[in-house]
């Protein structure tokens, strides 16, 4: 497996801390284990807890140790650990192959491995060497990586408020004060853009991953646009949530890649990007052509393109050939109305003018 781990799930007794809480009363945390937790967090790897313990007692101990804030979606109960691991992965919307589990008990690791064979399991003795393993070493650590835990924790608070909201979903979105910002990628942005293409599979239109070096070459290419999309609201920043790779031809703009984070699907970020791009192309008097390659995981992207009006109809506006196994989707765009659920800050369609906002004519 070459996937970098996105979330490490810790057992507590005799794994994260020394001793058994319910038997010993007092347990000890070594400085070395604390350092591992802090460093994994700094690398952008989320961490959680899966422990057979009394929840309140175990969580109180984590708080006293100053570690509770590092763990998202903790599962502390007496049920099967495989179910707890599955729950964490599913709530995070992470593929099981990107989840790791560490436990001192071979039977617990075997139980998780039996039910979730893609989850990587490690004995407690390996805890201090995790930082040296390739799967716990992202090739690049960006500003968004270092703030990933805070972003997820803000998202959980946002989801909780959403669950309590009564009324249409669009009304709730309006309460968030959402701002979608589309900018030309600068050299200092390329690491996080590359990371986004690496981490995004369900909402990646082609499944292609782009290295920082490749993106740097595209920035200087004639007619090429590398756009990075960020989202924020009253709960905080979502960080970089989307990337657009566009080639501007005389008769058509060729959308080589649209990828957005799964975290912002419910806000309609992908459809809003397509809506703005469709409007910009219509005003420029060009068609839109988009690459799409089915990967088995990106069906939602095909639905988004179809919903936006893209078809498989051929058109002689296409200036560039399709890559192998790639479908060319075509759209003759019409002007679009800006959304009323968010503000969109955009570059004035691909000129040197300063950035502006795409806003509704009625306010």
Bigger pLDDT: 319 or 343? Answer: 343
Transcribe 160-221 into DSSP letters: HHHHH--S-HHHHHHHTTEEEEEEEPPGGGHHHHHHHHHH-STTBSS-----HHHHHHHHTS
353 CB burial (10 A radius; 0-12, 13-18, 19+): exposed
Q: What is the pLDDT of residue 316?
A: 85
Tokens of 51: 């422990």
Tokens of 273: 């990007």
Going edge to edge, which strands form the sheet with 99-103?
75-76, 46-51, 7-10, 99-103, 120-123
CB-based contacts of 76, cutoff 8 Å, min separation 6: 12, 49, 50, 51, 53, 54, 55, 58, 59
Q: What is the mean pLDDT of residues 69-91?
A: 95
- Point out which residues pair with 209 in neighbouring strands: none
DSSP code of residue 3: P
Task: Decide the pairing of beta strands 224-233 and 236-248.
Answer: antiparallel
**Closest to 184 in 3D by CA, of 220, 137, 225, 224:** 225
**Closest to 262 in 3D by CA, of 151, 343, 181:** 151
pLDDT higher than 80, residue 107: yes
- The per-residue pLDDT for range 32-49, each reduced to its tens digit, is 999 999 999 999 999 999
Torsion of CA 3, 7, 11, 15, to 10 degrees: 70
18 CB burial (10 A radius; 0-12, 13-18, 19+): middle
Tokens of 312: 């498989």
Lowest mean pLDDT among 58-62, 289-293, 352-356: 352-356
Distance, CA of 322 to chain centre: 27
d(C-alpha 2, C-alpha 105), whole Å: 25
pLDDT bucket at 287, cuts 50 / 70 / 90: very high
pLDDT higher than 90, residue 1: no
User: Residue 51 in contact with residue 12, Cβ under 8 Å?
Assistant: yes
DSSP code of residue 93: T
Residue in this structure with the two tokens 């192959």, named with its chain if needed: 97
Distance, CA of 25 to chain centre: 39
- The per-residue pLDDT for range 113-130, each reduced to its tens digit, is 999 999 999 999 999 999
**Closest to 293 in 3D by CA, of 324, 269, 339, 270:** 324
Q: What is the pLDDT of residue 321?
A: 66
pLDDT higher than 50, residue 81: yes
Instruction: Tell me the residue ranges of DSSP E strands in 189-309.
Output: 224-233, 236-248, 252-260, 287-292
pLDDT bucket at 355, cuts 50 / 70 / 90: low
- The per-residue pLDDT for range 294-341, each reduced to its tens digit, is 888 888 888 888 999 999 888 888 766 667 788 889 999 999 988 899
Q: What is the pLDDT of residue 87?
A: 96
Q: What is the pLDDT of residue 201?
A: 66
pLDDT higher than 70, residue 360: no
pLDDT higher than 50, residue 179: yes
Torsion of CA 13, 16, 19, 23, to 10 degrees: -30
Q: What is the mean pLDDT of residues 4-17?
A: 95
DSSP code of residue 44: T
d(C-alpha 192, C-alpha 347), whole Å: 19
d(C-alpha 334, C-alpha 154), whole Å: 37
pLDDT bucket at 2, cuts 50 / 70 / 90: low
């Amino acid at each position: 497996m070459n996937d970098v781990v996105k979330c490490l799930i810790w057992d507590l007794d005799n794994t994260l801390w020394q001793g058994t809480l319910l038997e010993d009363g007092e347990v000890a945390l070594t400085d070395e284990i604390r350092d591992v937790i802090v460093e994994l967090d700094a690398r952008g790897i989320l961490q959680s807890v899966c422990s057979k313990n009394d929840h309140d007692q175990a969580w109180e101990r984590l708080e006293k140790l100053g570690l509770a804030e590092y763990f998202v979606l903790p599962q502390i109960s007496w049920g099967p650990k495989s179910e707890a691991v599955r729950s964490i992965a599913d709530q995070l919307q992470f593929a099981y192959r990107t989840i790791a589990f560490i436990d001192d008990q071979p039977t617990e690791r075997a139980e998780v491995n039996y039910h979730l064979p893609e989850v990587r399991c490690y004995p407690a003795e390996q805890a201090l060497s995790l930082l040296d393993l390739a799967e716990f070493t992202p090739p690049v650590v960006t500003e968004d990586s270092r703030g990933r835990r805070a972003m997820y924790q803000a998202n959980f608070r946002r989801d909780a408020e959403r669950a309590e909201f009564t009324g249409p979903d669009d009304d709730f979105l309006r309460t968030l004060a959402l701002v979608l910002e589309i900018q030309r990628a600068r050299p200092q942005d390329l690491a996080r853009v590359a990371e986004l293409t690496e981490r995004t599979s369900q909402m990646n239109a082609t499944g292609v991953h782009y290295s920082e070096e490749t993106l740097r070459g595209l920035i200087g290419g004639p007619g090429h646009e590398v756009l990075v999309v960020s989202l924020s609201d009253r709960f905080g920043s979502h960080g970089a949530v989307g990337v657009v790779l566009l080639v501007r031809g005389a008769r058509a703009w060729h959308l080589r890649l649209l990828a957005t984070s799964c975290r912002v699907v419910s806000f309609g970020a992908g459809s809003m990007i397509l809506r703005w791009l469709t409007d910009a192309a219509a005003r420029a008097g060009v068609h839109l052509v988009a690459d799409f390659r089915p990967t088995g995981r990106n069906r939602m992207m095909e639905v988004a393109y179809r919903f936006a009006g893209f078809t498989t109809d051929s058109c002689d506006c296409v200036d560039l050939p399709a890559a192998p196994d790639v479908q060319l989707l075509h759209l003759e765009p019409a002007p679009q109305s800006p959304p009323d659920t968010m503000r969109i800050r955009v570059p004035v369609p691909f000129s040197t003018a300063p950035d502006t906002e795409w806003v509704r004519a009625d306010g």
